[in-house]
Amino acid sequence: MQLLNANSYQKGGWYCTCFGATGREAFWKGIRNYYAKYDGGNANTDDLRTIMEQAGGKDLKEFFKQWLYTPGIPQLDITWKFDASKARLELHITQKQARLFDFPWKFTIGDKTAYNYRWR
């Protein structure tokens, strides 16, 4: 039971942000290639990383280091204020944990306007 902890479940869910790191098409291409190569066999994390890198043409070493090998998950403090008279939305997003994570933050206001922000 020591193996079945937050790193297996909660952190594993964050790990699925690989979808955002590679893009939709590359992610699914990588998953298909991974299963085609390792179906019924053995593979390790570097095998998955290598296939996902090949599918998306991106180096994912830092991504895997951050989401799989680094302890913890982002702890976000989010506050917002809307000024209807100016049609202005103000968001304040702060990472509260000691080590900052680099990840895309995507949100939509209404049904037409999408905003993207990347933590740095």
Is residue 59 over pLDDT 90? yes
pLDDT tens per residue across span 73-94 = 788 999 989 888 988 888 888 9
Residues 49 and 93 in one domain: no
Structural domain count of the chain: 2
Is residue 39 over pLDDT 90? yes
Q: Which domain holds residue 26?
A: 10-69
Rounded (5°) CA angle 29-113-16: 30
Residue 32 included in any domain: yes
Of 79, 66, 50, nearest in space to 119 by CA: 66
- Between 29 and 113, name the one with better pLDDT: 29
Residue 3 included in any domain: no
Rounded (5°) CA angle 113-115-120: 175
Query: Could you tell me the pTM of the whole model?
Result: 0.65
Residues 52 and 82 in one domain: no
Q: Out of 15-19, 22-26, 50-54, 60-64, which region has the weakest mean confidence (pLDDT)?
A: 15-19
